[in-house]
Chains A and B, each alone.
Chain A
Amino acid sequence: MSDLLRLVQAHLLLSICAMIVALAIGLPIAILAARRPRIGAPILGLVSLLQTIPGLALLALFYPLLLFLGRATGLPIPALGFLPALLALALFALLPIIRNGVTAIRGVDPTLVEAADGLGMTGWQRLAKVELPLGAPVLLAGIRTATVWTIGTATLATTIGQPSLGDLIFSGLQTEDWRRVLTGCLAAAGLALTVDFLLGLIEGGLAQRRRWKVWTGAGLLLVAAIAALLPLGGRLPSDKGQTVVVGAKNFSEQYILAELIEMRLRAAGYRTERRDNLGSAIAYRALAAGDIDVYVDYSGTLWANVLGRTDTLPSAAMLQALQREMAGRDRVQLLGALGFENAYAFAMTRARATEMGIADLDDLARASGKLRLATDLEFQNRPEWQAVERLYRPQFREIRQYSPTFMYRALGDRSADAITAFSSDGRISEMQLITLPDPRRALPHYDAVLLLGPGIGNDPGIAAVLQSLVGSIPIDSMRAANWMVDRDADKTTPRQAAEWLDGKINRDRM
């Protein structure tokens, strides 16, 4: 519950700030565009174009942009979290503000403009005394639209590490906790509707010239803004040196491991913060840039994405090469492997594999003309897939992309014959799947490794605390913990699973 309140607050604060920025930019542009159509038309076109970029993509694009700006200017510009979310949302809110602003000003009865000019009003006086008061309802309708969009789109801020109600939706989707998803959706919708109602009150008040409506709406909005700000003051990271930012990508295992890392650090007296649902490509760059301090990645992912290698080495040699390269290039410390692999593995139900006589990837490729493959969202863009295609030459009848959870569902309800599973997934043992051996070694190793960012390299205490996790999680433990979160009935939260795993590690040690 307190979690929900905190997220509502963060969500509201982000939305309000984005709207303030959007208004500060949008209103002057609207006025300019209304007065000078020659300048206005291209601006309006540009802003409309922005609107066609999917929200998720716009948010993600700000990451490299801000990273580049930070590097180019040498200023400490945060590339993750509040700033990029704020900028992307503000850009998104521009269109309705500018479009309605222009319509509001241009829509004023020309005889009134003539009267204003005839009376000797300056351009600004005409704007302030005639055009804005008369255009206010239209302008406000645009602001209302923009606000509702912003509050809805702000849920996507989660993907670049800014807490919002999207945290509930995204983590709920990953762990199939529908109550969480619904809570997030309802809270965001409730927030949007409430703010829309208050703005509607102001709009109606202006149109009907009822002052009390305007003041009631404005007053309540102000109260909401203050409520979003007040308790946050105490939580702002004032002494950031003490706070360790723990990152997580967007699936259950990552949530559990991030919780586990947090538990260990807190027990040692550190304060922690979380950045969840980082895109796979973003996470490492965020670590190197100091936006997060620690997270778990997988050797094969780093090998291909960070080092750009397409060859496959034995596990130990790969880890050594990674350690050396990342330390030298990005001052990222590879602390060690946790003890299990979360490798890509082609998996089928035991029954289907037997029926088709498939025992390894060679068999799978031979039968692929009759088979449908389900992959996660990134597999087909990865070098691993290219290696599989090159070495086995499969020709699947159909290949579809799913978020990981739904990929298993596809196998379960027979809309797919094979999937690109993850070896640490609890569902492999629970769904009685078999993973197919890879005789041509197309798929590299994916040892889970702990990575520390350059920002905490000067605190040996942190490395010491986390060293206790190295080599401590065997594959069975990880699968079991993952299953606790992913299963349909009696599911636990990632935190509870992390607590179980923590206990398991300690028991194993004895």
Chain B
Amino acid sequence: MIAFSHVTKAYGDRLVVDDVSMIVEKAAFVVLVGQSGAGKTSLLKAVNRLVQIDGGSVRIDGEDVAAMQLTDLRRRVGYVFQGVGLFPHMSVAQNIWIGPRLRGTPDSARPARVAELLELVSLPADLAERLPAQLSGGQAQRVGFARALAANPEIMLMDEPFGALDPVTRRDLGLAYRALHDRMGLTSLLVTHDMAEALRLADRIVVVGDGKILADLPPAELLQFRGDERVCAMIDVVREGARHFSVLERNG
């Protein structure tokens, strides 16, 4: 369980997270949606302290992350982001093995574990010895997920993980991760600006705007949301897309 309590973050005099409190229950899949600069990424990165918050606290299972050893915290929390960040001078297997290696796991365990993780993210085993430059975008991000999962984290933080992928790969990879989440009992926090993606993947959607939580509802209830017009606008985009689609289908 992750508990945000009165979290505040400012860059200069611009407040990007403004006194936010919320709870992400164990094994929940929570998606943070909002426009660029809404503060969702800062909120996400407050969990593994890639962003240093100015006020409030973030607790994992009751333990304040500010009091935890930084490296321990980050090895407990998987992190996947749009940049992917595979190390170009290491093979796929070496990239995946970084987490266990940092914790001193003997290298003899590597082949079996790498094969297991590649299978988990639906990649062929013979990719293990390739260099990142030889992978497609979708393959690279699957390796990114495998690398984040290698340390057996309870929590996964994802910052626009599918942002750089084409729409089909994006949907496939999203659904594949959702399946992994369910199978492994992970606690997932994902940031996206794509409301359709949020509706597709989330147990709960948190809409963020100007550093505050504008709505916090399960997908089905969010569709009925009446209130803040920024939230309505985001839902309307998806709704209009669907309506347009069915009109086209009927008339075609």
Contact = CB atoms under 8 A, between A and B. Distances in A.
Interface of A: 109-112, 114-122, 125, 129-130, 133-134, 209
B177 interface: no
Contact of B72 (A109, A119, A120, A209): A120
A134 B88 contact: yes
20 contacts: A109-B85, A110-B83, A114-B83, A115-B83, A115-B86, A115-B87, A116-B85, A116-B87, A117-B50, A117-B74, A118-B79, A118-B81, A119-B79, A119-B102, A119-B147, A120-B72, A120-B73, A120-B74, A125-B102, A209-B89
B85 A115 contact: yes
Contacts of B50: 114, 117-118
Given A118-B81, A119-B99, A134-B89, 5 more contacts: A111-B81, A111-B83, A120-B102, A125-B102, A134-B88
A109 B89 CA distance: 13
Contacts of A130: 87
How extensive is the interface on chain B, given as a class? 20 to 34
A129 B89 CA distance: 10
Interface in B175-200: none
Given A111-B83, A114-B50, A115-B83, A121 B71 contact: yes
Contacts of A116: 85, 87
Given A112-B87, A114-B50, A119 B81 contact: no
Interface string B96-108: 0011001000000
B141 interface: no
Interface string B131-159: 00000000000000001000000000000
B48 A118 contact: yes
B72 A118 contact: no
A259 B50 CA distance: 71
B89 A121 contact: no
A120 B75 contact: yes
A111 B102 contact: no
A202 to B, nearest CB: 16
Interface of B: 48, 50, 70-75, 79, 81, 83-89, 98-99, 102, 147
Nearest to A118: B79
A120 B73 CA distance: 7
A88 B7 CA distance: 55
A25 B152 CA distance: 41
Contacts of B79: 118-119
Given A118-B48, A118-B81, A119-B75, A133 B89 contact: yes
Contact of B85 (A111, A125, A133, A209): A111
B95 to A, nearest CB: 9
Nearest to B157: A118
A134 B84 CA distance: 17
B71 A120 contact: yes
A114 B74 contact: no
Nearest to B85: A115
A110 B83 CA distance: 9
Contacts of A120: 70-75, 99, 102
Nearest to B70: A120
Contacts of A133: 89
B234 to A, nearest CB: 27
Nearest to B69: A120
A116 B147 CA distance: 11
Which of A111, A116, A119, A121 is the most central at the interface, judged by chain B CB atoms within 10 Å of its CB?
A: A119
A291 B48 CA distance: 62
Contacts of A134: 87-89
B161 to A, nearest CB: 12
A120 B87 CA distance: 14
A112 B83 CA distance: 8
Nearest to A117: B50
Nearest to B74: A120
A174 B175 CA distance: 83
Contacts of B48: 118
Among all A-B residue pairs, the 9 with the closest Cβ atoms: A115-B85, A111-B83, A120-B74, A118-B79, A120-B75, A111-B85, A120-B71, A133-B89, A112-B85
B71 A122 contact: yes
Contacts of B147: 119
Contacts of A121: 71, 98, 102
A121 B48 CA distance: 13
Contacts of A112: 85, 87-88
Nearest to B103: A120
A411 to B, nearest CB: 65
